[in-house]
Amino acid sequence: MAADPKVILFGGVGSATSSMAKCFPGFLVYSNDEAEGKLDEILREIDSHPGQKYIVAGHSSGAVHAERVGRKVRNPDQIKLVLLDGYGDEKVQDRVKDSSCWYAMRGNSGSLNSESMKKICKHPKKYEDDHCNTAWCLHFSLVNSNAPADLRQGTFRAQGYANCKANLRWVNE
């Protein structure tokens, strides 16, 4: 395998490929809206480079796309599957042995999908955040360290990925 893995990141609702590319330079990034149409292209990329390791990550609803890659990739040992406060499927985790699910906490308060991540995932990982005041902020803090502390349902589409400072903890663990 190559020394440095390539990272493929699927954003959730409200993500835009252009803003994600600025936040995550060097990553192959896909907004939630465009991911569906790119799945075959992504699988060809991975399957045609058997010596390359990939981290395939999905944030929020983008986790669905990451899991589709995990289900369909020719060699599941070639990828590390990372679900970032999204959705987990035990069958995909059985196929992709190197998989993890991340959720965020501040004290006893959890991110939007923290309970399902802990329940469904075989390898849940907790990210502690001390600046967030809402579950929405915790949800976005897994990818954006600058997520607004008071982010809410009515503001996440415009502000969740805005002013992005990449949180890469999930890449390095």
CATH code of the domain containing 49: 3.40.50.1820
Let me know if residue 101 belongs to a domain: yes
**CA 173 to CA 171: how far, in whole Å?**
6
Is 153 contained in some domain?
A: no
Q: What does pTM read for this prediction?
A: 0.95
For residue 98, give its domain range: 6-129+168-172
Quick: pLDDT tens for 70-124: 999 999 999 999 999 998 788 899 999 999 999 999 999 999 999 999 998 988 9
Residues 6+ apart with CB under 8 A from 97: 76, 77
In a domain, residue 143? The reply is no
Query: Quick check: is 146 in a domain?
Result: no
Query: Does residue 30 belong to any structural domain of this protein?
Result: yes
Give the model's pLDDT for residue 40: 96
Calpha distance 4→122 (Å, rounded): 25
Residue 161 inside a domain? The answer is: no
Does the structure show a pLDDT above 60 at 145? yes
Q: What are residue 87's DSSP bridge partners?
A: none
CA distances, 92 to each of 24, 67, 117, 140, 170 (Å): 26, 7, 14, 24, 19
Residue 73 to residues 25, 39, 57, 78: CA-CA distances in angstroms?
24, 10, 14, 9
Indicate whether 139 belongs to any domain.
no
Residue 73 lies in a domain: yes
pLDDT band for 16, please (50, 70, 90 cuts). Answer: confident
Count of the separate structural domains present in the chain: 1
